[in-house]
Structure 1
Amino acid sequence: MLAVAGGKGGVGKTTTTLGLAGALARDGRPIRAVDTDCEMPDLHALAGCERDPPLSAVLDGERVPEQPVATIPGVRVVAAPRAEDRAAVTSALGRLRDRPTVVDTPAGAGPDAVAPLRVADHALLVADGTPQALRDAAKTGAIARELGVAIVGVVLVGTLEQPDGVERFLEIPVLGTVPPATEPLSDPAVWTAYDRVAERLRRQTVI
């Protein structure tokens, strides 16, 4: 299970979750993309899926409440729980071990952001290349390390340039840069970038 994380909001975690899931699914394996942001859930909307049933439904004995993404073959989306069900995130994620799963985590460093990291095997940090986003990513990386989660690298979204010293600052490799785009998941250049990141993850046998 791979958590897509980064302390700052709006840096491209949700786009990366869905784009990376789509890129990973190109080898024929079904990939699950799960939203754990109870306050600002938007993975389902980006994927063109319904808000219900959410992740928490898996705890009711139902089958995994996943929906196919019509525009991205091989990817199934699970929407985030309602805010009142946020305590269910850790338990519900723990039941999703039947297929490769990419998890969209909330921004910040509070309990909601930490919950999915407790379950993940690996974490991929996301930042937009700005100093604030990189500082927040470093904080998220520190939390992940404290929880014993292996950090596989960082993806820089909305930029073609890698800031000087970013790998040294974060103590992880940059796995790719994703170019800016008005509609990212409709842009071939964006998909090419996520394909490259996916290939690097396959080589590491991360997912």
Structure 2
Amino acid sequence: MLAIAGGKGGCGKTTTALGLAVALNGPTVVVDADADMPNLHAMADVPRDPPSGPDPDPDSDRDSDRLGHRHPDHDDVTVRPAPTGASGSGRRAGDRTAARLDRIREAAPSEGAVLVDCPAGAGPDAAAPVRVADGVLLVASACAPSLRDAVKTGATARSLGTPVVGAVLTRSRLAPSGVESLLGCPLLGVVPPVDPPVLDAARVGSAYRDVAADLQHRKELL
């Protein structure tokens, strides 16, 4: 299980999670862990509600297949929207997220990857998926505030005992000098700026395939 994380909202976490899910070989589950500002379902063009309808009890989420949607254009990708009726932050929300991700990990195909689109910020709800994951991929744009927030996210991951496996820069043509040293991890890819829909652009798809090829060698993180 790989957490796609970055401290600043709008830095490209959801785009990266879905872009990598499409680029990886084999079955992939991509999960929205942001109950307050979910948008994975919208980007993937699937319903927010699970296939069987609303689930009023987030803790009853037991069936990965029943509650997941196949990506409309990629049969190997299963999209898990954030549960309905589960908004909120704090320790309780974080514990609920962690339990949900543990169940998804257990239900996922043994040969498949699980990618988690993490909430922004540094609260318990944002830390929970990082704590549960086997590794963290930092996402940031090339601007100073986004990079600073990514540094904080990386520090949080390491304090929780979760390794930072690398970083992706979004909406950038070149990597700033010293970015790997700043983030304390290898830079796995630079995603160019394009007009929406971003994931339809060939250059963006190529960038995520390069990142996926690097990650594919480390299946224990996925």
Q: How would you bin the TM-score normalised by the shorter chain?
A: over 0.9
Within the candidate set 66, 73, 76, 2:75 is matched to: 73
- Where does the alignment leave 5 or more consecutive residues of structure 2 unmatched? none
CA–CA separation in structure 2 for the residues paired with 1:159 and 1:55 = 39
1:102 aligns with 2:115: yes
Once the two structures are TM-superposed, the CA of residue 115 in structure 1 deviates from its matched residue by 1.2
Paired AA for residue 178 in structure 2: G
CA–CA separation in structure 1 for the residues paired with 2:143 and 2:69 = 34
Query: RMSD in angstroms over aligned alpha carbons?
Result: 1.8
Per the alignment, in what secondary structure is the counterpart of residue 155 of structure 1? Answer: strand
118-127 or 46-55: which moved more? 46-55
Per the alignment, in what secondary structure is the counterpart of residue 83 of structure 1? Answer: coil
Once the two structures are TM-superposed, the CA of residue 56 in structure 1 deviates from its matched residue by 8.5
Alpha-carbon contact 1:154-1:173 (below 8 Å) kept: yes
CA offsets 1:128-158 (integer angstroms, 9 cap, x no match): 1111111000000000001110111000001
CA–CA separation in structure 2 for the residues paired with 1:58 and 1:111 = 17
Between the two proteins, the alignment pairs up a number of residues equal to 204
Alpha-carbon contact 1:22-1:73 (below 8 Å) kept: no
1:112 aligns with 2:125: yes
Query: Residue 103 and residue 57 in structure 1: after superposition, are their counterparts in 2 closer, same or farther (change >3 A)?
Result: farther
Query: Residue 56 and residue 8 in structure 1: after superposition, are their counterparts in 2 closer, same or farther (change >3 A)?
Result: farther
- Residue 171 of structure 2 corresponds to 158
Query: Residue 55 and residue 200 in structure 1: after superposition, are their counterparts in 2 closer, same or farther (change >3 A)?
Result: farther
Once the two structures are TM-superposed, the CA of residue 59 in structure 1 deviates from its matched residue by 3.8
Q: Map 1:1-207 to 2 at 5 A.
A: 1-24=1-24, 27=25, 29-53=26-50, 59-60=59-60, 62-64=62-64, 65-81=67-83, 82-83=86-87, 86=93, 87-97=95-105, 98-99=108-109, 100-182=113-195, 183-205=197-219, 206-207=221-222
52-61 or 153-162: which moved more? 52-61
CA offsets 1:9-39 (integer angstroms, 9 cap, x no match): 1010000000001101xx2x21000001111
Query: Residue 56 and residue 160 in structure 1: after superposition, are their counterparts in 2 closer, same or farther (change >3 A)?
Result: farther
75-84 or 13-22: which moved more? 75-84
Per the alignment, in what secondary structure is the counterpart of residue 52 of structure 1? Answer: coil
Paired AA for residue 71 in structure 2: V
Alpha-carbon contact 2:31-2:81 (below 8 Å) kept: yes
Per the alignment, in what secondary structure is the counterpart of residue 96 of structure 2? Answer: helix
Once the two structures are TM-superposed, the CA of residue 177 in structure 1 deviates from its matched residue by 0.3
Give the TM-score taking structure 1 as reference length.
Answer: 0.93
Alpha-carbon contact 1:55-1:78 (below 8 Å) kept: no
Alpha-carbon contact 1:8-1:108 (below 8 Å) kept: yes
Per the alignment, in what secondary structure is the counterpart of residue 132 of structure 2? Answer: coil
Give the TM-score taking structure 2 as reference length.
Answer: 0.87
Once the two structures are TM-superposed, the CA of residue 89 in structure 1 deviates from its matched residue by 0.9
- Where does the alignment leave 5 or more consecutive residues of structure 1 unmatched? none
Per the alignment, in what secondary structure is the counterpart of residue 38 of structure 2? Answer: coil
